[in-house]
Amino acid sequence: MSDKFVAVTGGCLCRAVRYEAEVNLCEAYYCHCKTCQKSSGAPAEIGVFVKPGTLKFTKEDPKFFQSSPIGTRGFCQHCGSRIVWMSPNRADWTNVSACSLDHPERVVPAEHICVESQLPWYELADNLPRIRSEDYPDLIDEWSSVGLTHEGQPL
């Protein structure tokens, strides 16, 4: 099996946080969830999956904020750039923000997720799959593992 992960570098705006990782450039995804919207201040975040165990911070570590019961976001404490999303249970879901990469032009988005909260004025003219949270079984499972629905309500 060929390895779909390639070695990349990236970091924050002020360059205090720098990283090396192996990432999957060709299966990036737009997440339109409300948490990603608030966290980024943008209509969607674009995540690039990291091969588990390969993400290394080579200067300062980011600060981490637990943004939901299933996810923690790492950002630069100096400039605020969003760097990484991690889940305590799903190492394979670790992802870096597309534009934290030194060469984000290499990223190829493959799908849109959580499109039930996609903003009506944010339309992209692509033919990628558009997946609602309730149609994403792994996501439902992850939320139910912490006793919540995908909308953060008690089960």
Which residue ranges make up the site for Zn ion (CB under 5 A)? 12, 14, 16, 31, 33, 36, 76, 78-79
2 versus 120: smaller Cβ distance to Zn ion: 120
Alpha-carbon torsion 124, 7, 76, 93, what sign? positive
Q: Which is nearer to Zn ion, 79 or 146 (CB)?
A: 79
The residue (of 79 and 91) whose beta carbon lies closer to Zn ion is: 79
Scored b (16 or more CB within 10 A) or e, 88-107 reads eebeebbbbbbbbbeebeeb
User: Is the Cβ of residue 16 or residue 99 nearer to Zn ion in the bound state?
Assistant: 16
CB of 140 to Zn ion, least distance (A): 14
DSSP category for residue 79: T
Phi, psi of 124 (to 5 degrees): -115, 130
Helix (H, G, I), strand (E, B), or coil: what is residue 145? helix
CB of 103 to Zn ion, least distance (A): 18
Pairing of strands 18-23, 56-57: antiparallel
Least Å distance between CB 78 and Zn ion?
5
Nearest approach, Cβ of residue 1 and Zn ion (Å): 29
Is 23 or 74 the residue whose CB approaches Zn ion more closely?
A: 74
- In the bound complex, what is the minimum distance in angstroms from residue 5's beta carbon to Zn ion? 22
Give the whole-angstrom CA distance, residue 31 versus residue 119: 11
